[in-house]
């Protein structure tokens, strides 16, 4: 049986692609690397590439790719009794029935600023990101390895860096519960050290950041050039690295291209693995859109509409999903099927004639949400806590600055706020911009995420 499968392996893979509609990228990433561990009767045991670990097994089983593989083998070998089991090689080397149940340990985590949707299971893998994905899984499976410490992810806005970082955090929290994991955007780190210095609580700040097992800081480029913040970060970096703790950083550029970065720090960032994430190719863009259609049950959006979006929005995952969200809203409100021509009309302000992404209130709100850790629902709500109000004010200010919408229209995007409320919030931001350089830098960081060319 094993020899038959191996001799027909290419034909089996071709059958999966042509007969079962699995993409070439998906097959090359997940199915082709499988190896046959053993065959018992008509049951074939495949093991996943060790770099994927249990996450690879779960990914394949959750999407029923093991069932499709079995069907393809049956078809090619003309043997309807073949069964497939996908597992880890390590499962054959331990007697799990004799193993004592593991004791649950207390663990300290910070889940408050993690998006529950940002997990490895929801990340769409393609040619542009498969290396980054595999590396992140390796780090999540075994944090603290020298060759991956620090892990430095870089690439343009909206390409999935935050998704991958938070996927690592979620995975470690679930599978290494004794570990203290902390994920923060760089602006949170900056705000906390500024506040700690003001209140003479720097030791509390250091205790928080230097006692973790895994530290993830998003958009590290915005810490560079802020002297007190930068020094505190690098002292934290050195302490954690010396203790073998895992550090994961992201930036829009590789270390060598961050112009204001001191050479001694640049070399530290390159101790581990700088990993590039490219803009998604067409096949990956389509996979992202199809996945969102499936997850959000958008059954009334035809594939030709997805093709139109994938053809016209080429560099940003966030913008792809934003376009689909807009169609979803119109479809739900109208309770009707959307034709391609109708979709083009709905998206005319989202996609310009040149095929580039237009800046819309939806895009701005999504970016502010991602940057601040405040959900879109909270930004649009009537909640008045300080963090939520600040995020809402910033989003309104950016909507006024970067879109052609009037105050009343902007208010409608925020749960029906009236024009005077919108104007008041905008003025608060303008006042703070003139007084607070750290806040101004934060607005600049958000702006670059909205429009990388800004």
* 194 burial level (CB within 10 Å; 0-12, 13-18, 19+): middle
pLDDT at 284 over 60: yes
Q: What is the mean pLDDT of the chain?
A: 83
Domain boundary among 241, 274, 307: 274
**Cα(325)–Cα(337) distance, rounded to whole angstroms?**
15
- Both 343 and 394 in one domain: the answer is no
Rounded to the nearest 10 degrees, the angle between the axes of helix 161-175 and helix 130-141 is 20
- Both 265 and 301 in one domain: the answer is no
For residue 122, being part of any structural domain is answered with no
CB 445 within 8 A of CB 222: yes
Question: Does a cis peptide bond (omega within 30 degrees of 0) precede residue 199?
Answer: no
pLDDT at 182 over 90: yes
DSSP H or E run through 23: none
* Full domain range(s) for residue 187: 127-274
For residue 106, being part of any structural domain is answered with no
Domain count, the chain: 4
The per-residue pLDDT for 225 is 66
- Both 227 and 153 in one domain: the answer is yes
- Both 232 and 289 in one domain: the answer is no
Residue (of 57, 83, 95, 110) closest to 5 by Cα position: 83
- Both 379 and 338 in one domain: the answer is no
pLDDT in tens, 62-76: 777 888 898 889 889
- Both 133 and 264 in one domain: the answer is yes
Whichever domain contains 304, its CATH number is 1.10.8.60
> How much is the pTM?
0.58
For residue 14, being part of any structural domain is answered with yes
The per-residue pLDDT for 98 is 36
The per-residue pLDDT for 257 is 80
- Both 86 and 138 in one domain: the answer is no
Residue 33 in tokens: 């690397």
For residue 395, being part of any structural domain is answered with yes
The per-residue pLDDT for 317 is 84
Which residues have C-beta within 8 Å of that of residue 217, sequence separation ≥ 6? Answer: 183, 184, 185, 186, 189, 223, 233, 248, 249, 250
The per-residue pLDDT for 357 is 58
DSSP H or E run through 83: strand 83-87
The arrangement of strands across the sheet holding 151-154 comes to 181-185, 214-218, 246-251, 151-154, 273-276
For residue 107, being part of any structural domain is answered with no
Which SS3 state, helix, strand or coil, does residue 127 take? Answer: coil
For residue 77, being part of any structural domain is answered with yes
Whichever domain contains 408, its CATH number is 1.10.1750.10
CA distances from 346 to 53, 81, 309, 335 (A): 43, 51, 12, 15
Domain boundary among 352, 374, 393: 352
The per-residue pLDDT for 448 is 81
- Both 243 and 312 in one domain: the answer is no
pLDDT band of 102, cuts 50, 70, 90:
very low
pLDDT band of 396, cuts 50, 70, 90:
very high
- Both 11 and 81 in one domain: the answer is yes
pLDDT at 101 over 60: no
The per-residue pLDDT for 151 is 94
Of 13-17, 40-44, 49-53, where does mean pLDDT reach its minimum? 49-53
Torsion of CA 146, 150, 151, 157, to 10 degrees: -170
- Both 132 and 211 in one domain: the answer is yes
- Both 139 and 244 in one domain: the answer is yes
**Cα(126)–Cα(115) distance, rounded to whole angstroms?**
22
- Both 254 and 323 in one domain: the answer is no
């Amino acid at each position: 049986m094993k020899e038959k499968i191996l001799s027909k392996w290419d034909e089996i893979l071709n059958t999966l692609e042509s007969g079962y509609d699995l993409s070439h990228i998906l097959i090359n990433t997940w199915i082709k690397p499988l190896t046959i561990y053993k065959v018992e009767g008509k049951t074939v045991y495949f093991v996943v590439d060790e770099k994927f670990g249990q996450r690879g097994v779960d990914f394949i089983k959750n999407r029923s790719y093991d069932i499709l593989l079995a069907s393809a083998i049956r078809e090619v070998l003309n043997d309807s009794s073949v069964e497939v089991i996908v597992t880890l090689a390590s499962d054959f080397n331990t007697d799990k029935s004799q193993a004592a149940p593991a004791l649950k340990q207390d663990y300290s985590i910070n889940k408050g600023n993690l998006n529950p949707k940002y997990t490895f299971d929801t990340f769409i893998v393609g040619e542009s990101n498969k290396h980054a994905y595999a590396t992140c899984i390796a780090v999540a499976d075994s944090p603290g390895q020298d060759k991956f410490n620090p892990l430095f992810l870089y690439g343009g806005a909206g390409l999935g860096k935050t998704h991958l970082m938070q996927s690592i955090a979620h995975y470690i929290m679930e599978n290494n519960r004794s570990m203290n994991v902390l994920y923060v955007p760089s602006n949170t780190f900056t705000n906390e050290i500024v506040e700690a210095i003001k209140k003479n609580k720097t030791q509390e700040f250091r205790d928080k950041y230097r006692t973790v097992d895994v530290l993830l800081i998003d958009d590290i480029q915005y810490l560079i050039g802020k002297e007190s913040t930068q020094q505190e970060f690098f002292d934290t970096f050195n302490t954690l690295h010396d203790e073998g703790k895992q550090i994961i950083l992201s930036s829009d550029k590789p270390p060598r291209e961050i112009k204001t970065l001191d050479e001694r720090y640049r070399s530290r960032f390159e101790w581990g693995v700088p990993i590039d994430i490219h803009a998604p190719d067409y096949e990956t863009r389509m996979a992202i859109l199809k996945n969102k259609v499936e997850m959000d049950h958008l059954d009334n959006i035809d594939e030709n509409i997805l093709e139109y979006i994938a053809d016209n929005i080429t560099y940003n995952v966030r913008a792809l999903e934003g376009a689909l969200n807009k169609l979803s809203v119109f479809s739900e409100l109208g309770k009707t099927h959307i034709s391609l021509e109708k979709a083009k009309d709905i998206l005319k302000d989202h996609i310009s004639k040149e095929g580039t992404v237009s800046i819309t209130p939806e895009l701005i709100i999504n970016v502010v949400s991602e940057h601040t850790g405040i959900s879109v629902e909270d930004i649009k709500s009537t909640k008045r806590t300080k963090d939520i109000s600040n995020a809402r004010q910033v989003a309104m200010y950016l909507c006024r600055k970067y879109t052609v919408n009037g105050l009343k229209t902007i208010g409608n995007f925020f749960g029906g706020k009236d024009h005077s409320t919108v104007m008041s919030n905008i003025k608060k931001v303008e006042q703070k911009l003139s007084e607070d350089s750290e806040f101004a830098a934060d607005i600049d960081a958000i702006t670059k995420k909205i429009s990388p060319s800004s």
